[in-house]
Structure 1
């Protein structure tokens, strides 16, 4: 066993201390406090060699183990202080601990970054599922439930995304973030009013279909590894927190947007208007175009606890996705033409200038918003007036993107932030227009 794999296995064993939580109750954090205290004073020796990272060896202290243990202790304190479910605590710690072991197991057999992240997600999810099963059995509950599978899969995907961005010493960031996300998902209780058979079907279909689309997108170089995991997570949330229709709307954007990005890519590359990384979308790009829709989805799932009706958030979701596709088509098609004008002054500018538009791109964008509207009519039953709201929201968001590109893009505010602001504008417009015309 190589050094990295041995260290990952040791951290997984430490993470397994979380399984004591259902027995310790309010003292769930205690084992990790003890580990952190012991690690802080471990001198050089066998244990130091097993747990140390290259940085630890330079510093002469087990900083990574102390950081991981303190983070686990911190989220453990949420159990008694804020009544975080014990299963959420256990699943979060095991996802991070065993996820990295899964990644190292794959790397020990084959140097493949994509496969290693699959190993992270798979083993992390299995460990989280097993941990929730232990908690449930202690409490006399069903050992395996649809909610357990959903939390395990979404936690592993979220941790995998974060792990692809951060390095090993950032385990505390990953652990705390995953815990907060799973806590939110547990509070939303997506299967509370759903028959068990329906819940199982939805989880199974969500995992199979989203994983399939994720694999295809990566195989076609439409996304990076991190982008693939992000897309799978968003698809899973769309199916579980919304329904199949929500997933269809989202996947339409990803599929059409990716194909359009690849369309005449060499020509766009020569003109300096092509997406980086050969058009493969990373986590930032995916979230920049989908984060506003995700917020609308979460608000829809929590509509009983927040103002406005569920339909308002459904229209906001549709408006955000319509904006994302409208903006993508406008940029990818419009970049092929030589007559761009700055949206704020209408003066002619070079292709690729931030905030530049062409009439061809604007028509393509409206067509994209119209396509999302048509899908919403089919899957949500919006009707003609609802379709008009979605198209209008897409146009508002697409225009907001162009204006933001001309006014604030560059320097601190990058393209991904502008995309988020645009889709947020489209989402707000969709919800507000639906309320204004009496559809929500």
Structure 2
């Protein structure tokens, strides 16, 4: 596919507008705004407006759920290493892989890169929805052993969280189908070229695509919980007798290493789960 300078310009404008909007809402830090600008511009420039709007759908729904019943979640979120204002690494953990797949699709024109893009995005959305709604559950359990744990604990799952994960993955799947069908309806076949071909390939079997994305997003979210329970670095506050993601607890005391790998924080877990979701989407799409 030929590179379009117009697409690049539109990508810069659209990504800048989204990033600045998020910054003014205090959804992104200054570094997070720069990361969002980079990711958005890459996705729009190399994937087009439908890919970019999927990214917007993820951001808008995630931001809304972060603000949903925020006061009730404040105490739980104090144990997280980072708050609701997303920084550079948080944005890149969820956005770098979709940006890479947009670039690879532009270079190779293989439908599997679009499948992987949506699978990674569905995983990020499923995980965000599960986290933001799951922390409201009174009875979470550790994914590895089923034991009761505190709300918001890394690796915890709940009925509410699992349903939210399914809904989050389904939301991205349906948005992907809807946006691309609309694009297919508007576009001229000769102008679209290879884009037209992959849309036809996808939406002749649209039900299969929706199932693949929902399954991949849900499995990616479960992988996120598993990684959080097994390899994420966790620390112990000797004063408060609490497990936390923080190196310095909110009480001001220095925490001690407790379990996992110290270099694996929540951003690394999110990136790994996005990789898992993308690979699951490719595998399911090829097998079914």
Relative to the length of structure 1, the TM-score reads 0.52
User: CA-to-partner distance for each residue in 1:259-292, whole Å, 9 max, x for gaps?
Assistant: 2122222221123467666511101101111222
Alignment of 1:306-345 (within 5 A): 310-345=110-145
User: Does the 8 A contact of 1:315 with 1:430 survive in 2?
Assistant: yes
Query: Are 1:230 and 2:39 counterparts?
Result: no
C-alpha root-mean-square deviation of aligned residues, in Å?
A: 1.7
Q: Whose relative contact order is higher, 1 or 2, with alpha carbons under 8 Å and at least 6 apart?
A: 2
Query: Are 1:207 and 2:12 counterparts?
Result: yes
Higher helix share: 1
Aligned partner of 2:161 in structure 1 is 361
Query: Are 1:251 and 2:56 counterparts?
Result: yes
Aligned partner of 1:268 in structure 2 is 73
Aligned partner of 2:210 in structure 1 is 387
Report deviation, 1:298. Answer: 2.5
SS at 1:302's partner residue? helix
SS at 2:124's partner residue? helix
Q: Distance in 2 between matches of 1:261 and 1:372?
A: 17
Task: Specify every segment of 5 or more residues in structure 1 that has no aligned partner in the other structure, as ranges.
Answer: 1-189, 193-198, 305-309
Aligned partner of 1:409 in structure 2 is 232
User: Does the 8 A contact of 2:39 with 2:96 survive in 1?
Assistant: no
User: CA-to-partner distance for each residue in 1:131-157, whole Å, 9 max, x for gaps?
Assistant: xxxxxxxxxxxxxxxxxxxxxxxxxxx
Alignment of 1:115-194 (within 5 A): 191-192=2-3
Report deviation, 1:205. Answer: 2.1
Report deviation, 1:200. Answer: 4.3
Q: Which moved more, 1:270-279 or 1:222-231?
A: 270-279
Q: Distance in 1 between matches of 2:81 and 2:68?
A: 14
User: CA-to-partner distance for each residue in 1:55-86, whole Å, 9 max, x for gaps?
Assistant: xxxxxxxxxxxxxxxxxxxxxxxxxxxxxxxx
Report deviation, 1:363. Answer: 0.6
Structure showing greater Rg:
1
Match of 1:431 among 264, 269, 282: 282
Q: Distance in 2 between matches of 1:358 and 1:374?
A: 24
Aligned partner of 2:223 in structure 1 is 400
User: Does the 8 A contact of 1:273 with 1:352 survive in 2?
Assistant: no
Q: 1:386 to 1:229 in 2, by over 3 A?
A: same
User: Does the 8 A contact of 2:43 with 2:103 survive in 1?
Assistant: no
User: Does the 8 A contact of 1:312 with 1:432 survive in 2?
Assistant: no
Report deviation, 1:388. Answer: 0.7
User: CA-to-partner distance for each residue in 1:37-63, whole Å, 9 max, x for gaps?
Assistant: xxxxxxxxxxxxxxxxxxxxxxxxxxx
Aligned partner of 1:111 in structure 2 is none
SS at 2:11's partner residue? helix
Aligned partner of 1:352 in structure 2 is 152
Q: Distance in 1 between matches of 2:227 and 2:53?
A: 29
Q: 1:293 to 1:274 in 2, by over 3 A?
A: farther
Q: Distance in 2 between matches of 1:334 and 1:233?
A: 30
Q: Distance in 1 between matches of 2:79 and 2:39?
A: 25
Size of the alignment, in residue pairs?
237
SS at 2:53's partner residue? helix
SS at 2:26's partner residue? coil
Query: Are 1:418 and 2:218 counterparts?
Result: no
Report deviation, 1:370. Answer: 0.4
